[in-house]
Amino acid sequence: MDIHEYQAKELLSRYQIHVPRGGLAYSPEQAAYRASEIGGDRWVVKAQIHSGARGKAGGIKLCSSDHEIVEAADAMLGRRLVTHQTG
């Protein structure tokens, strides 16, 4: 079964399995808004792809400000992420 991380988290939470808070974003601005909803002072922006090694390919970024979140999301959204599994 191919499901994204956010879909797996929704499924697990239905069965009272604790998962880290998160949110889905379709724009860089929406990513920053989601981070403000979550709260905290550090966030992880992740590309939702059906492939392993997304971190090595630039699909996972640790961010400490709204500006970093917007930049990370802008770099990921609408772009093809190539890993060793995608070819």
61 strand-pairing partners = 45
User: Nearest 5°: CA angle at 76, between 19 and 1?
Assistant: 50
pLDDT tens digits along 43-87: 999 998 877 788 888 899 999 999 999 999 999 999 888 877 776
Decide if pLDDT at 33 tops 90: yes
CATH 3.30.360.10 is right for the domain spanning 23-87: no
pLDDT, mean of residues 18-47: 95
Q: What is the pTM of this model?
A: 0.81
Q: Where are the domains of the chain?
A: 23-87
User: Which pLDDT belongs to residue 69?
Assistant: 98
Judge contact between 53 and 26, C-beta under 8 A. Answer: no
Q: What is the pLDDT of residue 87?
A: 63
